[in-house]
Each structure stands twice: as structure tokens, then as C-alpha cells.
Structure 1
């Protein structure tokens, strides 16, 4: 769709700009190439660095798309966005920061999702660039979601405004950015939480300060919370990189920092058949990433009451409210008891603990407390004990060092060895297995000596699924986790699969980061196996097939279920039962098939999705001769053969009528006469 065509506007893109000349060009270029009808409303908050001249240039060249609104400098991004929102005419509104970029076709995909489902909010996959950028919640972007509920999902974890909002939702409920919300040191803790966020804030603030950035973050929080509370349909586009959040702060290259520092590995989720790496939503177990945590935890704790109270006004007590409150406690409240608490002075620590205790007294229900992780439960119970809070903060901020030193099979047991330590703190090392979909955890028995551990996993005891392996350290009632495997000793190799008790376990290293994972049942990696034909025999008009089967290097006849014949051109399948005749041998008998070319596959139950292996022909003598028979006037032919390339067993079935046979005979006779130099009249069709 041409962005400059006449007609209704699909998306109004609001950009609040201030002294962003260096990055604005890339941002606007990405907006202009979106393949939906857009209007781009840029509100210039009194820029002084050339932003104004660049905007004039863009507005001149794209007068029907770009509108520039200039205002006196306020230092409030929320006020600029409210001005842009008031001028918007599109069916949807998208807020884009001038330092970030929209992905190619992002709006087309998000609008299509919104139109298909009548969505009030559409979240597009967020990609971070730079270590300074907060991690988006990985659980949110694992797969597309046409309709996702607030309860039980991770959508509420993302309270940024880089989303597609239906404008009628915003207008109907008066949803605006809170211009009265200020993160000043002397701020009034009794801020109004009942208004629809349309109050005006007086005075100027120096944009670019830490307080301004946190004010913007808090304003985003209030806006998104209000929108979520009224949204009837929420959708997620996860299969496309929609929004690129960039860090333009000076500093070392993030890739170099990754190699140089022993930071915590991220949690894994799925990306392709053999590898998937994402990020944990953020807690002490994996290195808390409080996305809105600012440098002044005390003022942040005071202002966070505003979105919490706003949410509570719209959501009645119960499981949904507890689910939403859990997000605020995990990422907004208890996050201030980590690194920010450790960096504060003793007097300020007491104030922070007092502020957290007040929020807990108001909002920490039994339902929320029961869902806290061990570290946050320890914090909630230690708000009167500053020394314990300091120790817990040290556990959270200490560097977690880990190294994989060995992985090997010992019969049906997998032994994982390594080292893990927590920044000089006295903790208990261990191993945690976490199933990627259900998040179920298993803790195998571990032998420990100082920071050296050895875990023994009974392969047959694990339920089917994809189990990510974590190094763990428990200290002060808190637990730190890191994906194990990326850092490993020289020469460490992952062993092959093991098939036992009808279940295959495939250890593998993820492709992107080299994290150790166990695939129980063959869900995301191909199960290695082989099927060899030993004999084929006609029993009447039925073809009996016998062969040998291995899963990895282990006899696998106990897992055979079906012999599947798949017609090559139509994809039609014929399934017949197969049975084991020994530890590695099987047999199956196939009846009449329709005309076509049928390829043979053996289906096994290895504890997960059915695994299929082509039946290969090792020796030509294993193939039975063709079988011919008449059914009325039709002659049938069934010929087993091995394909030329991979020697796979196939069965060619042909049905010939008398006319077909006559024509075939005439063609042969004609070819013979041509070879002898004789002429022959053609058979005419009447």
C-alpha cells in the first residue's frame, strides 16, 4: 500500500523529538517505507541541535505524510505525545522513539493482525541492540498470538508504548500520558491516581537528565497500564522483528563486552528446530532486569504507586489482579532492593525498605506472595532486617561464573560436570533442568566439592519435552541461575542420543549460544536413526516387509508402530501396523495400494512426536520380484524397487486396461519396425 495515497489513514505514528538529529534520519526513513497508509506526526519539543531543520526538509518532501508540530521546550515526552495524539486521525496509533527504528513491514503485519481479530492492542516483537537496552520479555515473543489474555500471559510484562493501539480505545476511555507525573526528589507521594492522566505540569525540566528519562518511563507505564485495563482483545506478532530498540550511549562494543565479562547467560526459548535462545523475564534467579528501575530508587518507589493504584481501580481483587501485581512487585518494587539498594547509603536504605514495606502492606496479597520466587519471598520477609537485605542484594549483583567440564553417558544415566561460583559468596552449587514450554523444573542429585559439581540424570525419569540445563547457586535463600554450556572446558563434546525404555534423549548445544539442552522425545532436533530392509516377500497380493531398525546406535524395534506408504505425487498416506520380531527387527504387511509411486517410511514412538525414518535397501536381493495379476479386464502390476539416489524402498503400482495394453503393444511393435526400416500405419482414434 502506498504511504502517500489518498484515503483513510491506517496508522498515526507519533514521534516526540528533542535534540535527536543524529538518529532521527534513520527513524523517519524506516517509518516512510511502511507498507500501510500512515501519517507521521513529529512533535518537536524545542530542539536546538538541527532537528528542526531536518524536520522541515522531510515535511517539504513528504507534505501529505509528515506533519511537524513545534512547541516550547517542556522536557516532558508525555506532553509531546499527547499533542501528537490529539492531532492523530488514523485507525491505530503507534508511538516511536526517535532513537529507535521500525522493522520493514512491521506495521503491515501488526495492522493485519489487528484487523483480523478486532484487536485493541497489538504487540510486535521487540529486538534490543546494545547491552544498555532492557531485555524484552522472551516468553511474550515465542509465537504469534491472535488473542491473548492478560491473565496467565506475559503481555503485561511489556509496559512500554512501542505498540499498536486502536485510537478509538484511547479516545473512548480518555487514555493519555500523565503530564503531572514527576520524579522529583521532593515529589508529592499522594499523586492523583484516579484522573484520566490529562493534568498539565508546569515548569521546565532539563531534558536528558536521569530524572527526565525516569519520568518518561513512569509516564509510559501509566499509559500502558490504563490501555491494558480497557483492552478487550490483545494480539502479539512474534514471527517478525517489528521494533528495534537501540542504545546510542557511548561505551564498549557489546559483543566485546559479552566475550570479556562473565555475565549471566540468558534463558532459552524456541527459534528453530535445533536451537532457540531468548531471555528470562527477569528475576534474581537469572539476573534481575528491572526495565524501569532508575538511579533514584526511593522516588521511583513513590511514583510506582500511581500505575499500581490505577490498575487496581479497574481490575477487581482476584487471580487477574494478583497476576498483574506480581509483575509490579517483581520488576518495579523488589528490583529496587537489588543493585540500587546496594548503591544507596545506610540512611537511604532504611527509607527504601520503609517504602517497599508500605507498598507490600497495601498490595502484597496472599496470591502474589505465593507466586514470588525464593529471593523475593526472602526480601518480603526481611524488610525489617537491613543487613539481610544487603546480603540478598549482594547475591543478586554478584558475578556468576560457570563452566561445563564434562557430559557423558554411563548406561542410562547422563553425567554433567562443571564448576559454578558466585562472586566469592558461600553458596551451594547445583544443576536445574527446566522444561522449555511448561517451565517445570527438576533438580537432579549433585555431588559437590567447593565449586565443583557432578550431576547424575536418570534419562528415563524425565517427561517428554525440551529441558534446558542451568548451573545454579543457592545462597541466603535466593537462587541464581545461568544457562550452562556456552563456557566449557577445552575438548568437551556432547555425546550422542540414548534410547532406553522407549524414550530417546538427545543432548545438544544450541546453535546460537552453545547452551546445553536435553531433547526428550525428539521435539526440536532430528532423532538419528536408520531402517534397513532385510527381506520383502509377496504373501498372496500383500507385500510383507522385514528389516532392522536402530535409534542412534541402539536397537529400536521396541518403538516401531507403523509402516507408512506415502504416494509421491499426491501426498496420500497408507498406514499399516508394524510389529517387533526381535530387539532390532520388525515386520509389516501391506495390502492393495492405488496406482502411483509409494515411498516406505517406518514410524517410531520415541517418547515425543512420532519419528519417521525412510526404509533403505541395503542388498538388491532383499527386493521381491514384481507381481502381476488381473482384476476383471484390468491388469495390475506392483514392483518394489530401490530409488537411484538414496536407495530408499519404493513401490510402483500400475493399472492397465485392455486399451492401454493394446496401445503399449503397438508402440513396441512400431519401435521394432522403425528399427528394421519398415513402415506401419498409426492406430486411429474414433
Structure 2
């Protein structure tokens, strides 16, 4: 007698996860989906705190099939997730971190959404407990969207529902050479390969739990690992998306989320050698991927900092960071009859040579400033330039297809 294929394989990698693992497993037991429709594959990655024993006790009592695999510590989350993928039989897979937990209806709602819409990835609303969580993508429930026309690029953690056939077809696995950001690489590739992505914004499917012991993986590790993560994600985007507007849209994410924090408040505390090394690591990434199409999609103070990184001007960057740390507001300089708004952060129109264009606010940032008038010659020229670039991208795509 054949066993029916489960709808979802829930993959849990656990390392020193007690006592958080107890609530994580309880959230699985509380799922409203029929237990016969799911399977759990739990990997104890060399824990010494009783996590493995907790998983085995859960397997003995759980209403759904549970496979527990115990192995030597692999050093990161990628290895256990890949082991779980190799064992998964479900139509979908969901990666559940051992210190987090699910909303009671999470799996039922996500599977229903994927089945109804035929989409390959489903994002369920995330809330943070004792830690921050992504917010910008939960404005409304979307039955079908993509990574270019939504905010989903700002949530690249692995805690999504993925259609298993998509992962098998493309041989997708987590990069075990990365010590951080491996989930961003995996999820971005899935977004780009997916036949549509769904977003559930009206129900909290996932609770991201901040550990009181501070051992959450994203808070640990050398700064050099962040540059490795940024580089890997930028290279993936460049490999999968031709140069142009669409690539620029996606490049905003690694520049803002991964690279820019290395040149934030912590840079003021860094010694000269660390500052030099950070600029050295950033240099090739800025040269390869920092473009006007990325720069105009971010705020002036973010653009200014990255411009100074690209220019190799740490002394000017320090001035900007001290200004921001003091919570000062830049003077708003209106020109062209109110159509151009410059935000006069440090070194605006002094003798350091930073171009005015770096300080020019795009309409989405300028709106709300008294006296600003949207439109005007500069805005028209920018729109015309963007239109020309889009046309060239389309022509290039058609030429390649031919």
C-alpha cells in the first residue's frame, strides 16, 4: 500500500536550541492542517544541550511523521537544511528555525494559497519577538507578484513555503561555503526562478524570536563574512538578471541591507586598519555594481555614504556619520523654482569635490518638504534618461533573443 505524498515537508535544523525548541515544536503540534498532510525532518547539528533528545521525544509523540537525524556539527545552517532537502518528500518545503515558531494556521494558509494561485513561493507575514522583523512587504495580501514589482526583496530569509519541484528542477541547495547570508542567496534565486510569488499579509504565519543569550546567527561573526554575503548575492543577481533597470532594482537590497551597515555607526568605532580593510573589500563591489540606477533608489544620506565608500574617502565618511549620530537635520536647499531639492549634508558644495547630484533628493524623498514642487526640467530629464535606458534594455533583450 503506497503512502500519500505529504503536502509539506517542514525542515528544522537545530543546534543548541533549548529551550526555544520546545515552543517551536509546540507550534508544529498546534497546526490546523491535517497532520497527515505534513512531515517533519529534524536535524540535530551536534547539539550538547539536549536538543537532540527533545527532537526524539517529539518524534515519539507527534501526530505527524517525524524523522530525526543526528550528526556532527556542520558549523552553520546550510548543511542541516541541505540534509533535510535530500530527505524531503513533500510537494512543498518549509524551513523552520528551531528558535522560532509558526502561527497556528500558517501551513494550512500557505499551502492553500500556493495551490489556488499556482505560485512557487509563498511568504507569510512575519512578526518579531524580542527582535526586529521585516515590515515593508506586508502592506497587502498578494496572490501573485514578483521580486521586481514588490518589496519582497527585503525579506530573503529562508522561512518561506517553496514548491519542491522548483527546487528539484534547478538543483537548488544552500551554499555551505557561506557563514551568513546563505538564505538570502537561496531565496533570491527562488524568487527569480519562480512562476509567481504569493504574499499573505493578513495573518501572522511566522514569529521570529530573539534569543536572550544573543546567539542568533545573524548577530555573530566577523565583518568580513558580511562582505562575502554581499558579494555572493550581487554576483547571483548579475548572473541571472541583465544589466539595466531590473538589475538595479534588486541591487538596492545587498547595498542597503548588507553593505551599508558596515559603513554606519560601527565604522566610527573601527580602528584605522579595519576601516582600510572594509574599504578594500567594498571597492570591487562598488566598481562592479554601484550604478546611478541603484543610487537614485535610496535616500540621500545612504547614497552619500556609499558614494564616499566608492570614492575611497573615509575622512569625509566619518564627518557624515558624526553628523547623523548627532541627529542633525540637513538644510534643505530649493532651486529651479522649487523643483530641485538638495539636502545639504556635510561637504555639500565645499572644496572636497562631491558632486551636487549626490545630494539631490528624488521625488519620493523630497515630497513633504515645504516649498518643493514635483516635476520641472531636471525631473523631466531624469525621466527621459530612464526611459532611454529602458528602451535600450528592451532592444538588447530582443537582440539577444533573436
Q: TM-score range by the shorter chain?
A: 0.7 to 0.9
- Do the aligned partners of 1:150 and 1:156 also contact (CA within 8 Å) in 2? yes
Task: Look up the match of 1:326.
Answer: 252
- Do the aligned partners of 2:120 and 2:194 also contact (CA within 8 Å) in 1? yes
- Do the aligned partners of 1:10 and 1:38 also contact (CA within 8 Å) in 2? yes
The Cα of 1:180 is off from its aligned counterpart by 1.9
Q: Does 1:151 align with 2:148?
A: yes
Which digits, 9 at most, give the CA deviation of each residue in 1:449-484, with x for residues without a partner?
xxxxxxxxxxxx99xxxxxxxxxxxxxxxxxxxxxx
Which digits, 9 at most, give the CA deviation of each residue in 1:573-599, with x for residues without a partner?
xxxxxxxxxxxxxxxxxxxxxxxxxxx
- CA pair 295-393 structure 1, distance change in 2 beyond 3 A: farther
Where 2:109 maps in the other structure, the secondary structure is: helix
The Cα of 1:292 is off from its aligned counterpart by 6.0
Task: Look up the match of 1:244.
Answer: 207
- CA pair 299-106 structure 1, distance change in 2 beyond 3 A: closer
- CA pair 53-380 structure 1, distance change in 2 beyond 3 A: closer
Task: Look up the match of 2:133.
Answer: 135
In 2, the alpha carbon distance for the partners of 1:292 and 1:359 equals: 22
- Do the aligned partners of 1:226 and 1:310 also contact (CA within 8 Å) in 2? yes
Q: Please list every run of 5 or more consecutive structure 2 residues that lacks an aligned counterpart in the other structure.
A: 330-362, 375-402
Task: Look up the match of 1:444.
Answer: 370
In 2, the alpha carbon distance for the partners of 1:107 and 1:379 equals: 42
Where 1:19 maps in the other structure, the secondary structure is: coil
- Do the aligned partners of 2:38 and 2:64 also contact (CA within 8 Å) in 1? no
The Cα of 1:398 is off from its aligned counterpart by 4.4
The Cα of 1:366 is off from its aligned counterpart by 2.4
Paired residues, number: 334
Task: Look up the match of 2:67.
Answer: 67
Out of 303, 322, 335, the position equivalent to 1:394 is 322
| TM-score normalised over the length of structure 1 | 0.46
Task: Look up the match of 1:33.
Answer: 30
In 2, the alpha carbon distance for the partners of 1:400 and 1:7 equals: 62
The Cα of 1:38 is off from its aligned counterpart by 0.9
Task: Look up the match of 2:122.
Answer: 122
In 2, the alpha carbon distance for the partners of 1:294 and 1:46 equals: 19
In terms of fraction of residues, the more strand-rich structure is 1
In 1, the alpha carbon distance for the partners of 2:73 and 2:258 equals: 29
Q: Please list every run of 5 or more consecutive structure 1 residues that lacks an aligned counterpart in the other structure.
A: 1-5, 182-214, 252-290, 402-434, 447-460, 463-686
- Do the aligned partners of 1:334 and 1:356 also contact (CA within 8 Å) in 2? no
- Do the aligned partners of 2:233 and 2:254 also contact (CA within 8 Å) in 1? no
- Do the aligned partners of 2:8 and 2:39 also contact (CA within 8 Å) in 1? yes
- CA pair 396-328 structure 1, distance change in 2 beyond 3 A: farther
- Do the aligned partners of 1:302 and 1:355 also contact (CA within 8 Å) in 2? no
- Do the aligned partners of 2:27 and 2:101 also contact (CA within 8 Å) in 1? yes
> After the TM superposition, which residues 330-345 of structure 1 pair with which residues of structure 2 at under 5 Å, given as runs?
330-345=256-271
Which digits, 9 at most, give the CA deviation of each residue in 1:312-343, with x for residues without a partner?
11111121111000111111112210023222
Which digits, 9 at most, give the CA deviation of each residue in 1:432-457, with x for residues without a partner?
xxx9xx888221269xxxxxxxxxxx
- Do the aligned partners of 2:15 and 2:47 also contact (CA within 8 Å) in 1? yes
Task: Look up the match of 2:239.
Answer: 313
Task: Look up the match of 2:333.
Answer: none
Which digits, 9 at most, give the CA deviation of each residue in 1:402-425, with x for residues without a partner?
xxxxxxxxxxxxxxxxxxxxxxxx
Q: Does 1:106 align with 2:106?
A: yes
Task: Look up the match of 1:225.
Answer: 188
In 2, the alpha carbon distance for the partners of 1:247 and 1:161 equals: 16
Task: Look up the match of 1:455.
Answer: none
In 1, the alpha carbon distance for the partners of 2:219 and 2:259 equals: 9
Q: Does 1:9 align with 2:11?
A: no
The Cα of 1:296 is off from its aligned counterpart by 3.1
> After the TM superposition, which residues 657-672 of structure 1 pair with which residues of structure 2 at under 5 Å, given as runs?
none
- Do the aligned partners of 1:9 and 1:91 also contact (CA within 8 Å) in 2? yes
Which digits, 9 at most, give the CA deviation of each residue in 1:98-136, with x for residues without a partner?
110100101111111111111111000000011xx2331
Out of 178, 192, 198, the position equivalent to 1:235 is 198
Task: Look up the match of 1:543.
Answer: none
In 1, the alpha carbon distance for the partners of 2:52 and 2:5 equals: 28
The Cα of 1:297 is off from its aligned counterpart by 2.7
Where 2:261 maps in the other structure, the secondary structure is: helix
In 2, the alpha carbon distance for the partners of 1:23 and 1:220 equals: 21
Task: Look up the match of 1:169.
Answer: 166
The Cα of 1:344 is off from its aligned counterpart by 1.3
Where 1:140 maps in the other structure, the secondary structure is: coil
- CA pair 18-380 structure 1, distance change in 2 beyond 3 A: closer
- RMSD, matched Cα: 2.7
In terms of fraction of residues, the more helix-rich structure is 2
Task: Look up the match of 1:385.
Answer: 313
> After the TM superposition, which residues 282-301 of structure 1 pair with which residues of structure 2 at under 5 Å, given as runs?
296-301=222-227
In 2, the alpha carbon distance for the partners of 1:382 and 1:293 equals: 26
In 1, the alpha carbon distance for the partners of 2:266 and 2:10 equals: 35
Which digits, 9 at most, give the CA deviation of each residue in 1:537-572, with x for residues without a partner?
xxxxxxxxxxxxxxxxxxxxxxxxxxxxxxxxxxxx
Task: Look up the match of 1:366.
Answer: 292
Where 1:85 maps in the other structure, the secondary structure is: helix
Task: Look up the match of 1:95.
Answer: 95
| TM-score normalised over the length of structure 2 | 0.77
Task: Look up the match of 2:358.
Answer: none
Where 1:244 maps in the other structure, the secondary structure is: strand
- Do the aligned partners of 1:12 and 1:88 also contact (CA within 8 Å) in 2? yes
